[in-house]
Structure 1
Amino acid sequence: MDFTFTDDERTFREAISRFLMTEAAPEALREIWETDSGRSPDLRNKIAEQGLMALSIPESAGGLEMGDVAWSLMTQELGYYGIPDSLADTAYVSAGLINALPDSVSDRQGWLEQIAEGSLRIAIGHPVNPLVADAHLADFTLLAHAGEIHAVPRALIDVEHNPSIDSSRRLCRVMWEPSSATRIADAATGQPLWDQALNRGALSVAGQLLGLAQRMLDLSVDYAAQRKQFGKPIGSFQAVKHHLADVAGKIEFAKPVLYRAAYSLQHGSADAALHASLAHTACGEAAHLAARHGIQVHGAMGYTWEVDLQMFMKRTWALESAWGDRTFHKARVSDAVLSDGAALGPGHLFGRS
């Protein structure tokens, strides 16, 4: 299997990185997070103007019609620059679910068009997530009830805010009553779509965690090159080098796992759920190690508000359990690997007959 990205895909990622580097500097994010909403309509509009909200929207609805592989690159940049995860919830997870709805859902096309232009904010509450990101700001929230899909307007839900260690996250516990007026898909149609949404959510979190890991490694390398002890940069000390090398190794081993999961989702592989869980686990471990070693390199000052490391470290801790915690995903991997007749070995893993 060839994991080499095309020139267009590499150019796409570089363009996203340059844009976010300018528009989402840590100083700007701190100012946004200290507001009551914790969100910037101006930044969101700029993101939409770049076409990032339209990434996976069909061309018929004004989108770019790119797939899960493109999102595996996009979410890494969202993680690297600390962009709130609810953007991916709307433009990737919710958009994918809405696009898969039957044509009989009259609002489907309009919703897709509004997502592409950035005028519609959708929150999504999967049963695996006890809390819903940005439900208090969303125009409506996609919620599950016994496999059904409900599109519940903001006026019909009560939200209870739940503080997070991560200043960028606005989490809510949602109280609502299912009804025929809000139901847009029955259980027979909805349950497979919720399963797909779970895999996309896990892939989204995995990509963000990998981007966070890379950002924390870069910050730690820069700090180790500048901070001196005994007249030498601490990066010259063997113990510090080993810490940073361990993180770099974890990141490199996690990348192909993420890309394999994205490929599986994009091509409807029967093992998509397994690969999504593997990606969530591998990328989570890389980010967790990057946070732990990053704080060791920075020392206690790494926890302080003024140091950028704490932004990405806290984001990692908050995201590790989003769209399924480590126990959930390891259980899915265990069920697949230990099942009778499990298709193991290179001949199966790489799709050869």
Structure 2
Amino acid sequence: MRFDLDEQQRDFASSIDRALGAADVPTAVRAWSTGDTGPGRKVWSTLTDLGVTALMVPEEYDGIGAHPVDLVVAAERLGYFGVPGPVTESVAVAPILLATDERAGGLASGELIATVAFPPHVPRAVDADTAGLILVAGDGEVRDGVAGDVHESVDPARRVVDVDASGDARPADTARAFEFGALATAAQLVGAGQAMLDMSVEYAKQRTQFGRLIGSYQAIKHTLADVYIAVEMARPLVYGAALSLADDSPDTARDVSAATAAAADAALLSARSSLQAHGAIGYTQEHDLSLLLLRVQALRSAWGDATWHRRRVLEALSSSSLEALSS
């Protein structure tokens, strides 16, 4: 099967690129790491103007009610630029949990940024100390949450916070919301992997060693080619998982987990290879590559780690095999 974006989706991705390219996102990420969310909220305001925050909000609450592929298009670009804040939680998960809640309108308008705790895989909520709405979800129910202790993350721009559920439980499609969380995270990992690859290719074209551009060395060429292949192999799996979600396929869990595991592996390979290409300078706080290196490390386990997702794929395949043998 061939996965290809239509013209409108490509234009949407290009509009996000133009807006975020002019927004100085790295400065916003560094400010967010120090607790100054002002520049980051300006970036979020830009996303609202583009319709990103309204993508998954139902139309009755002034949202777009978009296709999951549209979400993947946006999430990949947000991952490419490393947008700070609870991107997955507010853009992808909260709209599903608030599908019948009028507060979803606040997500669409950008007035509200939400975060979500989803035990056991998401025991703490990202940036719950600054989010306008905290949700605690699981077992078909969702409750509002209250922020507790703040913990450091491997990524300074992602504070993880203990939350306690409060108020009455409300029914919600938590199973579907979790899949959207994993899908949006996978898309961001693909975007981050692509961004680091692009940075490394450009660096290899400029950096000289022993009188030669490092990009002329076979070792660098082969390493970056491996990253390119890994990212290009992961991307269609992410889009395929989005189609499974759109169709309510019985294979949705398998497809989402396959995409997430592949995206996590591709992003990790890109991170390691980019650091190898850049050398020690790539890990310094002053270099923008370091922001993506840390983001990837945090996202790889944000909505279930690769080991858990691989196990879920294996269980789904084993179950299908048993069914085939018994029929």
Q: TM-score range by the shorter chain?
A: over 0.9
Distance 2:304 2:85 in 1: 15
Q: Tell me the equivalent position of 2:292.
A: 312
Residue 138 of structure 1 aligns to a residue whose secondary structure is coil
Match of residue 67 from structure 1: 67
CA displacement at 1:92 relative to structure 2: 1.6
Residue in 2 that maps onto 1:245: 225
Alignment: residue pair count: 323
The residue number in structure 1 matching 2:110 is 118
For 1:21, the equivalent position in structure 2 comes to 21
Q: Is the 8 A contact 2:32 2:84 kept in 1?
A: no
* CA positional deviation for 1:341: 3.5
Amino acid at match of 1:161: V
- Output one character per residue of 1:84-131: Cα deviation in whole Å (capped at 9) or x when no partner: 2513311221102221x4xxxxxx1x2121111111122111111122
Deviates more, 1:214-223 or 1:81-90: 81-90
C-alpha distance in structure 2 between counterparts of 1:42 and 1:60, whole Å: 26
- Distance in 1 between residues matched to 2:77 and 2:273, nearest whole Å: 21
Alpha-carbon contact 1:97-1:197 (below 8 Å) kept? yes
What does residue range 333-348 of structure 1 map to in structure 2 within 5 Å?
333-339=313-319, 341=321
Are positions 1:220 and 2:209 aligned together?
Answer: no
Relative to structure 1, the CA distance from residue 29 to residue 84 in structure 2 (aligned partners, 3 Å threshold; closer, same or farther) is: closer
After superposition, residues 314-333 of structure 1 pair within 5 angstroms as: 314-333=294-313
Q: Does 1:285 align with 2:285?
A: no
Structure 1 146/204 Cα, relative in aligned 2: closer, same or farther at 3 Å? Answer: closer
Q: Write out aligned runs for 1:1-353 (5 A).
A: 1-37=1-37, 40-84=40-84, 86-99=86-99, 101=100, 108=101, 110-127=102-119, 128-144=121-137, 147-152=140-145, 157-174=146-163, 176=164, 178=166, 181-185=167-171, 190=172, 193-339=173-319, 341=321
* Identity %, equivalent residues: 37
Letter in 2 for 1:44: W
Structure 2 gap ranges (5+): none
Structure 1 residue 49: Cα displacement: 2.2
Distance 1:197 1:258 in 2: 16
The Cα shift of 1:149 comes to: 1.7
Q: Give SS of 2:148's match.
A: strand
Q: 1:336 to 1:297 in 2, by over 3 A?
A: same
Corresponding letter in the other structure for 1:160: D
Change in Cα spacing, 1:2 to 1:342, as seen in structure 2 (3 Å) is farther
Moved more, 55-64 or 65-74: 55-64
- Distance change (3 Å), C-alpha of 1:124 and 1:322: same
Q: Any conservation in 1 of the 2:57–2:65 contact (CA below 8 Å)?
A: yes
Distance 1:274 1:198 in 2: 13
Give the match for residue 104 of structure 1. none
SS of the aligned residue for 2:52 comes to: coil
TM-score, normalization by structure 2:
0.93
